[in-house]
Amino acid sequence: VFPLIVSGPHAPWLNLLLFILSQFILALCLFTYLQPSRNQGPEPRAGNPSALATQPGNSPTAPQAGSELIILLWTWPFGHPAALQKCSELFGIRDCHITANRSWYHKANAVIVHHRDVCSGPKKLPQGPRPPSQHWIWFNLESPSHSPNLGFMDNLFNLTMSYRRDSDIFTPYGWLEVLSQPQNFSIPTKSKLVAWVISNWNPASRRVQYYEELKKYLHVDIYGSHHMPLPRDKHFSTLSQYKFYLAFENSLHEDYITEKLWNNALGSGAVPVVCGPSRENYERFLPPDAFIHINDFPNAQGLAQYLQELDKDPARYQRYFQWRTWLKPSERSSWAIHFCKACRALQMTETYQTRTSLAKWFR
């Protein structure tokens, strides 16, 4: 759903109203429709341990109403166990039995495979015969630049689960929720100008090169590895003191908008200055006046001058918070929500297909 952008004296409020309407439509579409894979191929024959195990002639069917689906987490994401919740409480759907115990493999209706934990080689994947009709779900929240060895994943997976909007199971880093009634959002007290939290300092990256130019015209407080410490319990209270936050992504890819924007910036009440995909891409997730894009300016000097102007003009700065009258960033992002989205998708789909070229699609 793409917001229609209008101009004129009432543009900010009209844009906000149109964006809220688009969020209603998007939420309805995501809840009632599971987008099938665009790259459908034939079902491989049984007998190959690394191939889909559907017997020729069999037509897998959706689970019967009332039955509890079994979802096996082949690994905990990044090897760290996470708290699970009942999907009935999160989404009002039938619960699934979600487990990381591999002894459930032959009974599982689906197996969620987290890419970063298996990408070192095919032997990290489930071995041996694959149960008929079992869905394999490829799960990945990293960008293509940080998703190695996609090639051996081809012809193995039935469903994709990622931050990409064209995934079979859409699991973004964050989203906006429409409020039931308007709120008076209080902007946190600001005493500082610009902050940036970065753990992976790569001098060759676009974000670091842009910062090196920006710092010639504007001071930025940097937190993270080899910079100022930022204790976990002081994270939001520290960042909320800043008017702006540099939500610079580590790579530029479609829909790759991470916690840098959702948590660090919006979660702390700072205006995000983004470096990532295009402005048009950001506007599929946010109102156009909820962020500042570096591409809006010819160079870093132009951005620095604009931020300094906003710092001296409270009325103009406050316009970047008008959207919060009817919208708020979700506070529910968790591994449990991702897993329950898979549970919901499995209950809704009757298709069984193969992602023949995962590498080509994700790149």
> 319 to each of 27, 261, 287, 289, 310, how far by Cα in Å?
26, 18, 12, 7, 10
Residue 332's identity, in one-letter code, is: R
**8 Å CB contact between 320 and 290:** yes
**Per-residue DSSP letters for 67-108?**
PPPEEEESS-GGG-------HHHHHSS---EEE--GGGGGG-
Q: Residue 350's closest CA among 65, 104, 27?
A: 65
**8 Å CB contact between 228 and 221:** yes
Please identify which of the residues 43, 142, 249, 283 carries the catalytic annotation: 142
Classify residue 247 by its DSSP letter.
E
| Residue 331 is a catalytic residue | no
Find the angle CA(28)-CA(15)-CA(240) to the nearest 5 degrees: 90
Alpha-carbon span 99 to 89, nearest angstrom: 17
**8 Å CB contact between 345 and 34:** yes
**8 Å CB contact between 91 and 327:** no
Q: CB-based burial of residue 273 (10 Å sphere; 0-12 exposed, 13-18 middle, 19+ buried)?
A: buried
Q: Residue 25's closest CA among 284, 290, 329?
A: 284
At 222, is the secondary structure helix, strand, or coil? strand
Beta bridge partners of 192: 242
Classify residue 228 by its DSSP letter.
B
Beta strands in 65-109 (DSSP E): 70-73, 97-99
Beta bridge partners of 222: 196
Beta bridge partners of 195: 221, 245
Task: Show which residues are catalytic.
Answer: 142
